[in-house]
Amino acid sequence: MADFDAIVVGSGMSGGWVAKELCERGLKVCVIERGKSTKPTEDYTDMMDPWDYPNLNKVSKSEEQEHYAIQHSIYNWSADTKHWWVKDSEHPYVASEGTDYTWRRGYHVGGRSLMWARQSYRLSAIDILANKTDGHGVDWPIRYEDLVPWYDYVEEFAGISGQAEGLDILPDSKFLPVFEFTCGEELARDRIEATFPTRRMIHGRCANLRRATPEQQALGRGSCQVRNKCHKGCSFGAYFSSVSATLPAAERTGNLTLMTDQIVAELEHDAKTNRVTGVRIIDRNTKATKTVTANIIFLNASAIASALILQNSKSAENPNGLANSSGMVGRNLMDHVGGAWASGRIPMTPELADKTTYGRRPNGFYIPRFRNHTEEGEGFVRGYGYQGGVHRGGWSGDNSGVGKDFKASNQTPGDWYMSMGAFGEILPDERNRVTPHPTKKDQWGLPLPLFDARMRQNEINLVKQASKDAVALLEAAGAVDIRSSEDYDVQPSRPGNSIHEMGTARMGRDPKTSVLNKYLQTHDIPNLFISDGSAMTSSACQNPSLTYMALSAKAAKHAADFYAAGKI
């Protein structure tokens, strides 16, 4: 008899959802997390005031270089958030000659659901049909309509702030109240939409509880206090994370076991019955190994780690690893491409001069995709959206002047500034991949990830136009003194830099060219499911976590149904 009905590998964005859904359906579930436990009272640093920090909350250069050579370039890096990121010195990886890869992550309960930027957008019917329409990659085995009930379901539980717009390119979610625009954004929107009638500037959609519902409050979550300290961990539980929402929901069923500090080395497979029977784990501290068994296994370890676990689970019968008869495991690695941005000053108007903001909104504006939708793109397929904000300038030490005048200039709110950056779709390409390194191993004896991913011509052409469009949008908003990616040789961001890695065990209709079927079940092994970013057949240009949530809830339902029916 197996130890558990189900094992879920990973406790982050998607693993938390699978755990919740399976536990609530009565299954005994073991979530296995390679990192440490997360204790909000100890690990969250959101109750500090600016003057509480030693050394201006800065991490020393020597510590950055020694331990966080890659991680430290994250936009909200500081001394009180560095513990959310792995030490690169302890967790190295390799990029193939001539390539580069940025893999940012944290090893703790909650994973990157604690550090994410919370932007939450549905994929559209247009996105789900994109591969079929233009022939890149393979067709998704599901349609937008199949996702709708699952988007509805996860949105109401997680809590997404936003405003309904009725756009086909960016379907509406079930929304909590919106975080209103700043006066500068209202003006910019009016001007942009007057100049470009088919472009829209809408409110950002974010997983912050603008007003907590009774269902959310029952889990101990409260409304957003508008501090914009989310990246430190939120003591109010006001943004969605597996720690604030899904794991507590799983826990209260009494069906959850959470193992921390246990690295999954490989899956165990019974060739006779063609079932996965358990996982071999290594204690990250003692390095002791043991096997935990279950009737269902879900991989939710991230698109990189899940693909590596499969490839490391080799046997005579499966020389390329498990669930890899297609050879697609680890391939089609995608991200979102950045590198196109613009910022500038909005000259003062009488209305703007007299206005400011109250609170620190953890959100901004969004400009949905218009290229290859309402307007053609030059030399590329798919498209991009922009995220940004319009705010009054604050204090700065980088201004001329000394004495009372210097103080006064900082005490008075400054001009209005607009800034934004693009996230663009990356095409699925079999050549972009992650594999276990043939010789190099980590301190637990597991092969290092070997990345071989490049931005290719479609991404390059897309970013070039996104850069030009960014400037045109700022000009339309009336901005002056514009600085942008046009000032430089426009280059796509490095693969992985957007921290949206996905696609390494894609869903598809044909077992010869894909790893997962429409149930997120591997084509090859009926009791093995994957519902993290690995499953994505195409990347669209929207931030992907909301889709991982919907896919995870959907997959867990199918797994529980098959299990109850004795099919797996």
Q: Which of 461, 292, 63, 345 is nearest to 469 (CA)?
A: 461
**Does 414 contact another protein by CB under 8 A?**
yes
**Does 517 contact another protein by CB under 8 A?**
no
CA distance 523 to 514: 8
Sole binder of another protein in the list 21, 185, 266, 524 (CB under 8 A): 185
Q: Total number of residues binding another protein (CB under 8 A)?
A: 50
Residue 12 tokens, joined: 């982050």
**Does 73 contact another protein by CB under 8 A?**
no
Sole binder of another protein in the list 404, 439, 489, 565 (CB under 8 A): 404
**Does 532 contact another protein by CB under 8 A?**
no
CA distance 191 to 475: 9
Nearer to another protein, 285 or 400 (CB): 400
**Does 254 contact another protein by CB under 8 A?**
no
The DSSP secondary-structure symbol of 352 reads H
**Does 366 contact another protein by CB under 8 A?**
no
Give the nearest distance from C-beta 396 to another protein in angstroms.
Answer: 7
**Does 347 contact another protein by CB under 8 A?**
no
Residue 247 tokens, joined: 């794991």
Taken in order 427, 558, 545, 303, the sign of the CA dihedral is negative
Query: Measured in whole angstroms, how far is the alpha carbon of residue 49 from the centre of its chain?
Result: 28
Q: Which of residues 256-295 bind another protein (CB under 8 A)?
A: none
Q: Which of 454, 469, 481 is nearest to 337 (CA)?
A: 454
Residue 436 tokens, joined: 């276990």
Contact status, residue 33 vs residue 258, Cβ threshold 8 Å: yes
Give the nearest distance from C-beta 462 to another protein in angstroms.
Answer: 32
Give the nearest distance from C-beta 248 to another protein in angstroms.
Answer: 23
Query: CB neighbours (10 Å) of residue 533?
Result: 29
- Find where tokens 């549905």 sit: 122
**Does 350 contact another protein by CB under 8 A?**
no
Sole binder of another protein in the list 50, 254, 319, 566 (CB under 8 A): 50
> CB-based contacts of 17: which residues, under 8 Å, 6+ apart?
154, 242, 246, 531, 548, 549, 552, 553, 556
Quickly list DSSP for 244-294.
IIIHHHHHTTT-EEEE-SEEEEEEEEETTTTEEEEEEEEETTT--EEEEEE
Contact status, residue 21 vs residue 157, Cβ threshold 8 Å: no
Taken in order 202, 76, 359, 414, the sign of the CA dihedral is negative
Sole binder of another protein in the list 396, 439, 565, 566 (CB under 8 A): 396
Contact status, residue 111 vs residue 242, Cβ threshold 8 Å: yes
Give the nearest distance from C-beta 83 to another protein in angstroms.
Answer: 17
CA distance 83 to 560: 36
- Find where tokens 């209103």 sit: 180
Give the nearest distance from C-beta 414 to another protein in angstroms.
Answer: 7
**Does 166 contact another protein by CB under 8 A?**
no
**Does 476 contact another protein by CB under 8 A?**
no
- Find where tokens 């600016």 sit: 50
Contact status, residue 284 vs residue 263, Cβ threshold 8 Å: yes
Sole binder of another protein in the list 1, 41, 42, 55 (CB under 8 A): 55
Q: Which of residues 213-252 bind another protein (CB under 8 A)?
A: 224-227
Residue 57 tokens, joined: 């909350």
Candidates 90-98, 297-305, 391-399, 525-533; binding stretch for another protein (CB under 8 A): 391-399
Q: Which of residues 29-48 bind another protein (CB under 8 A)?
A: none
CA distance 9 to 306: 8
**Does 75 contact another protein by CB under 8 A?**
no
Helix, strand, or coil (residue 360): coil
Site string for another protein, 122-161 (x = CB under 8 A): ----------------------------------------
Give the nearest distance from C-beta 230 to another protein in angstroms.
Answer: 14
Nearer to another protein, 228 or 253 (CB): 228
Sole binder of another protein in the list 42, 97, 145, 354 (CB under 8 A): 354
Give the nearest distance from C-beta 164 to another protein in angstroms.
Answer: 18
- Find where tokens 């829209």 sit: 200
Give the nearest distance from C-beta 457 to another protein in angstroms.
Answer: 38
Nearer to another protein, 217 or 399 (CB): 399
Residue 23 tokens, joined: 């536990």
**Does 211 contact another protein by CB under 8 A?**
no
Sole binder of another protein in the list 44, 85, 140, 179 (CB under 8 A): 179
Sole binder of another protein in the list 69, 353, 480, 564 (CB under 8 A): 353
Contact status, residue 222 vs residue 212, Cβ threshold 8 Å: yes
Give the nearest distance from C-beta 219 to another protein in angstroms.
Answer: 20
**223, amino acid identity:** S
Candidates 80-88, 389-397, 452-460, 511-519; binding stretch for another protein (CB under 8 A): 389-397
Contact status, residue 492 vs residue 297, Cβ threshold 8 Å: no
**Does 58 contact another protein by CB under 8 A?**
yes
Give the nearest distance from C-beta 477 to another protein in angstroms.
Answer: 16
Which residues here bind another protein, judged by CB under 8 A? 49-51, 53-58, 60-62, 179-183, 185-186, 224-227, 353-361, 394-404, 406-407, 410-414
